[in-house]
Amino acid sequence: MLLKELIEDARSIRERDPAARTTAEVFLLYPGFHAVIYHKLTHWLYLHKRFFLARMISQFARTMTGVEIHPGAKIGRGLFIDHGMGIVIGETAEVGDYCTIYHGVTLGGTGKDTGKRHPTIGNNVLISTGAKVLGPFTVGDNSRIGANAVVLQEVPPDSTVVGVKARVVKIGGHRIPSFDLDQVNVPDPLSQELCRLEHRVYANEQKLRENAPEIGHKSGENDQKDAK
């Protein structure tokens, strides 16, 4: 049963990763996939209250794969950890089915919460390189988190969030992100804000040009009054 589940996960990764040529390559050579295998063992030990052994194996897995997944975290089917280095997933984090996580991602806590301290990630979510998702909130299904975003509050389903502090810039209207793997065509909030400012400046300039004759006429009248 476990072997069948692992083979299905490896096939899912091969379908999503253009660099993967065979399922066997994923199974044997992908450290992100190995991290998931280690986690299945450590999570079983964690559930059976073998906490020390679970942490010991998870630390060994961290050394071997560059991915640190706490044994208590809940991981769904078909997780694709691409490259893997520097990923941290906290104890009370939950990751849904068929998510994609790139290197440098943290699913962590803020330090001010107790009990449930880490985020819950929905199904088919893509978390881009260097993103930080911090706190006990939910990231909705089919959402995308942009590279280096810092997410500190709930994300609605089918949303795209970017920036520091991250904000929603798009809801709906895109393909399932976990299989899209597109980290480039994500709206840039700074660029959008600059465009809005440029539009306002242009509109104000147009108004000034339209009113220029009237302003000049009033200025001339004032000059005549001053001369008198």
Whether the CB-CB separation of 122 and 154 falls below 8 Å is answered with no
pTM (two decimals): 0.74
**Neighbour tally for 170: CB within 10 Å:** 15
Which range (36-50, 187-201, 204-218) has the least confidence? Answer: 187-201
Partners of 74 in beta bridges: 94
Instruction: Tell me the per-residue pLDDT of 76-123, one tens digit each, with 9 for 90 and over.
Output: 999 999 988 999 999 999 999 999 999 999 999 998 888 999 999 999
Q: In whole numbers, what is the pLDDT of the chain averaged over residues?
A: 85
Take residue 10 and report the two structure tokens written for it: 């490896």
Label residue 54 exposed, middle or buried (CB < 10 Å: 0-12, 13-18, 19+): buried
Take residue 35 and report the two structure tokens written for it: 């991290």
Instruction: Tell me the per-residue pLDDT of 110-164, one tens digit each, with 9 for 90 and over.
Output: 988 889 999 999 999 999 999 999 999 999 999 999 999 999 999 999 999 998 8
Residue 203: predicted pLDDT: 78
Identify the residue whose tokens are 């881009």. Answer: 128
Instruction: Tell me the per-residue pLDDT of 180-193, one tens digit each, with 9 for 90 and over.
Output: 555 555 555 555 55
Whether the CB-CB separation of 53 and 38 falls below 8 Å is answered with no
Q: Which CATH architecture has domain 2-187?
A: 3 Solenoid (2.160)
> At 24, is the secondary structure helix, strand, or coil?
helix
User: For residue 207, which phi and psi values (nearest 5 degrees)?
Assistant: -65, -40
